[in-house]
């Protein structure tokens, strides 16, 4: 119940941020986002009807489509998030003034705030756009990835926006989508401060012990074989904060200058030993 309440709270915050971005930056400047949100904005513009109505109505079929696959909790939170987005869109449009009419600023800040709101909702077990749900269904029956299908939908949406609002607005809309996409990634995956390290060396166990003693990091040994030399080697795997990466490099080079290092970003790390 506590986790569910936290999900509701953050989904409310995410929906408000998305509505704020739409009504204070994007919609007044005829800039759209991709997916159902973009279709809703254009449909509202053409029919002169309330945007919130289309945000709810156009999402309903896709959320029902996802019921069996994603479960009742996800669908409830998704309906809640879409409903709150519709309510906040009406609230913001009547109570908060438009921030700017500069198209570039609107695309940059509108896209960033919109992506932040959507990312918060995604991170809390819900969504506010049924495009990805439909894309997942189509991808199971066609030889295309979910990302490729979403891209196809958005090309169609932004092309339609070009005919409706003008090609300059369509280009700013594309920029908005790209910024929102990156903001979603940052919220969902986080700003990584950890690096995963793979060290292949003839002195694997000695290096691992030095890392444990001098850097106070836990390591894992993986037995490996050289593809060219066929020699048996020990791979050392560990995770270190970015700020300590240079110390690990110095330690490895000082003990084995022929060691092979592979360094990658880590999005999330779990484990009591690492946190300690």
pLDDT at 192: 60
Q: 94 with 60, same domain?
A: yes
Place of tokens 């990302």: 147
Q: 57 with 154, same domain?
A: yes
Q: 103 with 224, same domain?
A: no
Q: How many domains is the chain partitioned into structurally?
A: 2
Read off the CATH number of the domain in which 262 is found.
3.30.70.120
pLDDT at 270: 67
User: What span, in angstroms and rounded, lies between the C-alpha atoms of 136 and 149?
Assistant: 9
Q: 6 with 45, same domain?
A: yes
Q: 155 with 246, same domain?
A: no
pLDDT by residue for the chain (276 residues), tens only, comes to 888 899 999 999 999 999 999 999 999 999 999 889 999 999 999 999 999 999 999 999 888 887 777 778 888 999 999 999 999 999 999 999 999 999 999 999 999 999 999 999 988 888 888 887 777 777 777 777 766 788 888 899 999 999 999 999 999 999 999 999 889 888 877 666 688 999 998 888 999 999 999 888 889 999 888 777 778 888 999 998 887 888 899 999 999 888 889 998 887 676 666 555
Q: 202 with 142, same domain?
A: no
Containing structural domain, residue 115: 2-189
Residue 1 CA: distances (Å) to CA of 4, 8, 80: 5, 11, 16
Tokens of 143: 């030889």
């Amino acid at each position: 119940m506590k986790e569910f309440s936290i999900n509701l709270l953050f989904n409310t915050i995410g929906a408000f941020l998305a509505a704020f971005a739409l009504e204070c930056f994007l919609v007044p400047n005829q800039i759209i986002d991709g997916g159902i949100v973009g279709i809703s904005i254009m449909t509202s513009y053409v029919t002169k009807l309330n945007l919130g109505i289309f945000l709810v109505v156009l999402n309903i079929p896709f959320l029902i489509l996802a019921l069996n696959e994603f479960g009742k909790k996800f669908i409830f939170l998704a309906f809640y998030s879409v409903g709150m987005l519709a309510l906040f869109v009406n609230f913001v449009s009547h109570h908060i003034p438009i921030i700017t009419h500069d198209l570039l600023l609107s695309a940059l800040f509108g896209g960033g705030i919109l992506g932040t709101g959507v990312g918060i909702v995604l991170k809390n077990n819900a969504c506010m756009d049924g495009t990805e749900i439909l894309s997942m269904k189509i991808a199971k029956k066609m030889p295309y990835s979910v990302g490729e299908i979403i891209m196809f939908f958005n090309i169609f949406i932004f092309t339609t926006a070009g005919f409706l609002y003008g090609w300059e607005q369509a280009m700013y809309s594309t920029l908005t989508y790209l910024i929102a996409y990156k903001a979603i990634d940052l919220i969902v995956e986080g700003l990584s401060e950890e690096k995963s390290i793979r060290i292949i060396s003839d002195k694997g166990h000695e290096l691992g012990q030095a890392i444990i003693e001098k850097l106070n990091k836990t390591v894992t040994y993986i037995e490996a074989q050289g593809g060219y030399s066929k020699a048996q080697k020990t791979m050392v795997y560990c995770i270190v904060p970015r700020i300590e990466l240079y110390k690990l490099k110095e330690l490895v080079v000082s003990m084995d200058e022929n060691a092979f290092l592979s360094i990658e970003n880590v999005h999330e790390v779990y484990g009591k030993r690492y946190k300690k």
